[in-house]
Structure 1
Amino acid sequence: MNNKIAKDIMTTDVIVANREESIVNVARLLIKERIGGVPVVDEDNKVVGIISETDIMKKEQHVEAPHIINFFQGLIFLDDYKKMEEEFKEIAAYKVKDLMSTDIVTVNEEDNFDDVANIMIKKSVNRVPVVDKEHKLKGIICRYDIIRAMYNE
């Protein structure tokens, strides 16, 4: 039994995205910061979604690689290579609002540790934004934060 509350274990320096940001920028951010996703906030810092590596990868998997055969040491593209190139450009043009998850789980900064941990386990989420009563972002809790709170007394 842990008597901490969400605001005791959350990370307050939260990297966020906005709805109009490009997917390319967010992907670069995730790579640079070595994180799996970020909350999406509106102009009032209210959480409106989450954009994760999974959201981006789901979109990428719809792009089919061209079928290629090796013929006398030369490559013959059986499909239109230009089509694949266009599909990648199309994905690069997507905005966060096009791919973000809006069915998100948040916790309140006053919620107790056990409730937060149970929500994350039951909902199978890697991160939960922590919000105040006005639904404004206050922090984020990742699975790492849960483990740290449990074993780093």
Structure 2
Amino acid sequence: MKAKDIMVKKVITVHKNDTIAQIAKVLVDQAISGVPVVDDEGSLVGIVSEGDLLHKGTTPRVPSYVNILGAIIYYNGVEQYNADFKKLMAEQAASIMTEKVVSISEEIEIDEIAKLMLQHSIKRIPVVKNNKIIGIISRRDLIKLLIK
């Protein structure tokens, strides 16, 4: 069985210029935990999850550092701090979205999709063709297969 056999074809998306409030409303109204972000041409440019939106209510994780003779040397977490801070200050999808989206083609086998979800700790994978979203698969879609 392949992605095209189980993907949801009517994909809810948001535009990269949509506000945080608009995105939150889509997630709540549609009862989904994440949404792909598209540009003016409809190309996939990112994804926003509930986890991304939670950054709006938190403080950035402070990077690990060591103080040697008065010099602060960061050795872990600077990139994470910068990413957290960017999301904290975000006002639009383009600023809060995860840009490195794991996406698949419609010909990918179901077992490979499950492996990708586990490997990358993600809950949904957009199905794309020529960088345009043609479907989406969530963990729930895979779990439904266990019932059959």
TM-score, normalization by structure 1: 0.74
The CA RMSD over aligned residues, in Å, is 1.7
1:137 aligned to which of 128, 133, 144: 133
Unaligned runs of 5+ in 2: 61-87
C-alpha deviation, 1:92, in angstroms: 9.4
Matching of residue 37 in structure 1 with residue 28 in structure 2:
no
Contact 1:11 1:141 (C-alpha < 8 Å) held by counterparts: yes
Tell me, what secondary structure is at the counterpart of 1:121?
helix
SS in 2 for 1:108: coil
Query: What SS does the aligned partner of 2:45 have?
Result: strand
Q: Percent identity?
A: 36
1:56-67 equivalent positions in 2, closer than 5 A: 56-62=53-59
Task: Specify every segment of 5 or more residues in structure 1 that has no aligned partner in the other structure, as ranges.
Answer: 64-90
Say which structure, 1 or 2, has more relative contact order (CA 8 Å, 6+ apart).
1
Give the ranges of 4+ consecutive aligned residues of structure 1 lying more than 2 Å apart after TM superposition. Answer: none
Q: Which has the higher strand share?
A: 2
In the TM superposition, residue 93 of structure 1 has moved relative to its aligned partner by 7.4
Q: 2:137 corresponds to which letter in structure 1?
A: I
> Shift in Å at residue 135 of structure 1?
1.6
Matched residue count: 121
User: Equivalents in 1 of 2:11, 2:107: separation in Å?
Assistant: 18
Superposed, 1:91-102 pairs within 5 Å as: 94-102=91-99
Cross-structure match for 2:142: 146
Q: Would the aligned equivalents of 2:56 and 2:89 in 1 still touch at CA under 8 Å?
A: no
Report the TM-score, using the length of structure 2 for normalisation. Answer: 0.76
Contact 1:17–1:41 at 8 Å: present in 2 too? yes
